[in-house]
Structure 1
Amino acid sequence: MNEKTLAERLRMAMKKTGLTQAKLADAAGMTQPSIWKLLNGKALSSTKLIEIAKVLRVRPEWLSEGKGLIRENEKENLEKNISYDDIFSVAVYGKNGPTGEKVLVPDLVKSKYCRAYRLDINSGCADAPAGTLIVVDTEEIPGTGDLVYACINDTMSVYRFMQGGMFGFLSVDDLRIPLFELTSKSSLIGVLVYLSRSLRRR
């Protein structure tokens, strides 16, 4: 691994833990735009790096400067660091409601409004290919850059949210595809608070 910038290291650590910008910001006592600036190289440091490292379970020295091991025991899988006191179960939903399946996710994203969905097709966002299991908070308000789950033209998929207009806009990673403006008839299901391809089932 050779992540040269803070933005690259932060992106990698967030991907391993599955935390979104909004959830990381909340857990570290920051604003979501502050995390966005770090991820996009608009800010090169933060007074909250120790808090961010703690939430992401990485060493502050590695996160801030790229020095040393990522964790105390670099071979240790992040999932093994999560005790059963730090997880809760979320019901998996399909297009027609609950499927009866449940998944275990970190307590950091705990909310009574959480629902899990399994993606059957590739979304337009590289972070959420087919087979990914996502957890959304149906009551969280999305911010610019957040991944959201929405039903557009009877197709459920993951999009990137952008503030603007009456209800906001949805975009995908392919810049050739125009923004989709949300309306009162659009179905924004929730903001992604966790995603994984290997969540444990219960």
Structure 2
Amino acid sequence: MSLADRLTLAMRIKGISQAALGESVGVSQTTIWKLMNGKTSSNRKLYEIADFMKVNLDWLISGDGEMENNHQKNEIEYIGNIKEGSIIVKGEAIMKTDGAFQMNEDFNGRLKFHSDDPNAFALKIKGDSMFPRINSGEFVVIEPNIIPSSGDEVLVRTKDGSNMIKKLEFHRDCTYRFTSINQNHPPITLDEDMVEKIMFVSAIVKSVRYLDTQDI
């Protein structure tokens, strides 16, 4: 049984609709539909979905254990050591104004950071246009397989080759609206056909986590 099958089963048993579940955890009905139909298997809202439906998170994600969550919210459960791992650094983002950046693909290495997304990667930030949220020399972690929600920071790649790090404000009526991480810059609106890809920014990581290729 897949994650999609378990989610569909739990929703049927609990009597919860796609619209109700999406509204309760702050995502669109389309996002819930994609999870239920196996269009995606990675979403940062799975914890909130399991909590809302009162099902076991491990069961929902992997099928381990029983469906029902018998733990009380004030209980503390030992879940083991933090997972080890590293992800590839694909380059250096040389920041310009308003969250836009130019890529330097000569910079590489790996970042000591665990991600469940097999396609996760990191970019090193160079420049202070997103200070104090993101400082020069820090890394942003991108998880392409996670569907971003309103309020999430995202990497936006446009069809004309531009790259930006923004905050997703909304996506409706074939239009995206983004706000700048640096509040000195105004929001921007882009039509869907101008956008090549939007990827979830999952973390900002200090430079001490960087592993030079010679250290790997």
- The corresponding residue for 1:180 is 188
After TM superposition, give the deviation of residue 155 of structure 1 in Å.
Answer: 5.5
Judged with a 3 Å threshold, the aligned counterparts in structure 2 of structure 1 residues 50 and 30 are, in CA distance, closer, same or farther, namely farther
- The corresponding residue for 2:156 is 150
Matched, 1:110 2:112: no
- The corresponding residue for 1:90 is 87
Matched, 1:196 2:205: yes
CA distance in 2, matches of 1:167, 1:54: 44
Judged with a 3 Å threshold, the aligned counterparts in structure 2 of structure 1 residues 163 and 120 are, in CA distance, closer, same or farther, namely same
Q: State, as a whole percentage, how many aligned pairs show the same letter.
A: 14
Q: 1:137 aligns with which of 136, 143, 153?
A: 143
- The corresponding residue for 1:15 is none
After TM superposition, give the deviation of residue 182 of structure 1 in Å.
Answer: 3.0
After TM superposition, give the deviation of residue 191 of structure 1 in Å.
Answer: 0.7
Residues 109 and 210 of structure 2 are in contact (CA less than 8 Å); yes or no, is this contact kept in structure 1?
Answer: no
Matched, 1:30 2:48: yes
Residues 123 and 157 of structure 1 are in contact (CA less than 8 Å); yes or no, is this contact kept in structure 2?
Answer: no
Give the stretch that moved more between structures: 147-156 or 191-200.
Answer: 147-156
After TM superposition, give the deviation of residue 148 of structure 1 in Å.
Answer: 1.0
Cα deviation, 1:74-116, whole Å, max 9, x if unaligned, reads xxxxxxx64xxx122211112365744111203xx32112111
After TM superposition, give the deviation of residue 130 of structure 1 in Å.
Answer: 1.7
From the CA coordinates, give the structure whose radius of gyration is larger. 2
Residues 125 and 159 of structure 1 are in contact (CA less than 8 Å); yes or no, is this contact kept in structure 2?
Answer: no
After TM superposition, give the deviation of residue 189 of structure 1 in Å.
Answer: 4.8
CA distance in 2, matches of 1:116, 1:159: 16
TM-score, normalising length from structure 1?
0.52
Matched, 1:161 2:179: no
After TM superposition, give the deviation of residue 121 of structure 1 in Å.
Answer: 1.9
Kindly report the root-mean-square deviation, in angstroms, between the aligned alpha carbons of the 2 structures: 3.5
> Higher RCO, 1 or 2 (CA under 8 Å, sep at least 6)?
1
Judged with a 3 Å threshold, the aligned counterparts in structure 2 of structure 1 residues 48 and 114 are, in CA distance, closer, same or farther, namely farther
Cα deviation, 1:23-77, whole Å, max 9, x if unaligned, reads 4x43xx105xx9xxxxxxxxxxxx85768x979x9xxxxxxxxxxxxxxxxxxxx
- The corresponding residue for 1:16 is none
Residues 89 and 103 of structure 1 are in contact (CA less than 8 Å); yes or no, is this contact kept in structure 2?
Answer: yes
